[in-house]
Amino acid sequence: MRRVVITGLGAVSPHGIRFSDLWQGLLAGRSSIAALAQFDPSGFPSQVAGTVPAFKTTDYVPKSYRKATKIMARDIELAVVAADGAVRDARLATRGIVEASGGSVPGPDWHAVDPRRVGCNIGAGLICADLNELCQAMAQAKNSDGTLSLARWGKSEDPSKTSGMDNLTPLWLLKYLPNMLACHVSIIHDTQGPSNTITCEQASAGLALAEACRTIQRGQADVALVGGCESMIHPMGLMRWSLLGRVNNTANPAGACRPYDRRAAGTVVAEGGAVLVIEELEHAQKRNAHIYCEIAGLAAASSGRKLGEPDPTGESAAFAIAKAMRDAGITSAEVQAIVPPGSSVPTYDQSDVAAISRVFGKAAEVVLAPARGGVGDCSAGSQAIDLAAAAMALHEQKLWPAADSDQPLADVRMLATQQPMSLQNVLVFASSLAGQHSAVMLRKWQ
């Protein structure tokens, strides 16, 4: 079977707009969670967020594509920036990269690829419409009792005036389709191979990576851009997670997100994600690509339970973890670290620990390195961040700490400071709020 390796990393996270920012933030055990500033959060019980520092999307697309940035929701912008980082890191001279460097391949170590052999599989979530944009149109069709007049939304009574809906840009819908993350990325980088958009919340990125990896194993592509991005920093997103009781109701960013800690009191809304370049081994070797690690095992499962009620026994997640190990041909003793989905939501954290304990005996037999403590939960982007960070950990043989989780749950072992570690196999698993699991085993490249 064709082997698949990771050759490019791009991440956009509250730690910064480059993968190196994420990596340095993780190693330092820094928290980039801060007061929520995108909108006035005063009416919400939770007022902190993991916000990506300012950037201009137009800096990350070729000139000919700048106009298209006007129809990108925040989630799409994040994916475009993350993909740019991944493709550059992998030294792939895609259409967008060549155009941005004046029509030529940027350097001798850059390589063109056959667009038909490149896939794109980027997980996404339910993208919320911008409230101001939508409401300025709705306000044109407001009834005196405060409701929306559907009649005037459809057509103005005064023929010289526009209807409510006419105040929306004609391409309004296209800003908010989840598949637009992959579509814009596929257009910018001219990836014409299999493309997909998996929408399974926190499990999306691992499922996307797995599917693209199978495509390469089968021989239908040689390279794929994979990952996920999402922004939960939206009044609708915060409202939904607040009503579910999923977020930490605090205005104090310090220690707001403590995965697997006894003081965990909910998660923090965040934005971000990552895109990885995955590549068939010989294809990567032929072009002398830098290899971070190998994708050794893949599995998925579903909990069969209601949303919001994770399995306290961790059975279905454990099934996925064990299957990913079998797929990689290894036993639990050969796994040195796990990047788990811990979001600091106690019931979910406990379910994760139960799943790990089922497979590893005691969870404490293996080091857990949750990545969300300092950045928060960006839903479909979360596991992409986990995967990119795990790939770098295998490459640098170094693991990051869970700085704010210094009172771990029973049987959980996490690092207090970054540590060099001999890492052969690192497991990245995630469970969505709605019960889907994805498990990816990454192996040191040698």
Partner 1 sequence: MANRVVITGMGWVTPLGHDIEQVWQRLLRAESGIAPITLFDARTFPTTFAAEVKDYQLPAALRQSGMHQEISRATGFALAAATQAWEQAGLPAPRTPGHARLDPYSIGMYLGSGEGSLDFGTFTEVTLGAWDQSAGTVATGSWAKSAMRRFNAMREIEQEPCMPLTHLSLEFNARGPAMNCLTACAASTQALGEATQIIRRGDAEIMISGGAHSMIHPFGVTGFNRLTALSTMNDDPRRSCRPFDATRAGFVLGEGAGILILESLEHAVRRNATILAEIVGYGSSADAYRVTDQHPEGRGAVVAIEEALRDAALSVDDIDYINAHGTGTKENDSTETLAIKHVFGPRAKSVPISSIKSMMGHLIAAAGAVEAITCVLAIRDQVLPPTANYCVPDPECDLDYVPNEARKAKVNVAMSNSFGFGGQNDTLIVRRFAD
- For residues 318-377, which are near partner 1 according to CB under 8 A? 319
CA 165 to each of CA 160, 169, 188, 290, 416: distance values in angstroms, whole numbers, following the listed order: 15, 9, 30, 50, 54
Say whether residue 159 binds partner 1 (CB under 8 A).
Answer: no
Pick one of 34, 39, 58, 365: the residue that binds partner 1 (CB under 8 A). 39
CA–CA dist 310, 299 (Å, integer): 19
Say whether residue 105 binds partner 1 (CB under 8 A).
Answer: no
Strand partners, 35: 48
Say whether residue 404 binds partner 1 (CB under 8 A).
Answer: no
Say whether residue 112 binds partner 1 (CB under 8 A).
Answer: no
Say whether residue 28 binds partner 1 (CB under 8 A).
Answer: no
Q: Which segments of 80-126 are extended strands (E)?
A: 118-123
Pick one of 28, 34, 134, 265: the residue that binds partner 1 (CB under 8 A). 134
Say whether residue 146 binds partner 1 (CB under 8 A).
Answer: yes
Near partner 1 in 43-72, by CB under 8 A:
43-45, 68, 71
CB nearer to partner 1: pick between 27 and 213: 213
Binding mask 409-438 for partner 1 (x = CB under 8 A): -----------------------xxxxxx-
Say whether residue 142 binds partner 1 (CB under 8 A).
Answer: yes
Tokens representing 80 are 């475009």
CB nearer to partner 1: pick between 106 and 115: 115
CA 120 to each of CA 84, 200, 212, 416: distance values in angstroms, whole numbers, following the listed order: 13, 17, 8, 37
Say whether residue 131 binds partner 1 (CB under 8 A).
Answer: yes
Near partner 1 in 162-181, by CB under 8 A:
163, 165, 168-174, 177-180
CA–CA dist 323, 365 (Å, integer): 19
CA–CA dist 149, 190 (Å, integer): 44
CB nearer to partner 1: pick between 169 and 407: 169
CB nearer to partner 1: pick between 136 and 285: 136
CB nearer to partner 1: pick between 31 and 140: 140
Contact between residue 430 and residue 278 where contact means Cβ atoms under 8 Å apart:
no
CB of 275 to partner 1, least distance (A): 15
CA–CA dist 73, 307 (Å, integer): 27
Burial environment of residue 305 by CB neighbours within 10 A (0 to 12, 13 to 18, 19 or more)? middle
Instruction: Give the DSSP H or E segment for 413.
Output: strand 413-414
How many chain residues touch partner 1 (CB under 8 A)? 95
Give the number of other Cβ atoms within 10 Å of residue 434's Cβ: 15
Say whether residue 381 binds partner 1 (CB under 8 A).
Answer: no
Binding mask 183-212 for partner 1 (x = CB under 8 A): xx-xx-xxxxxxxxxxxxx-----x---x-
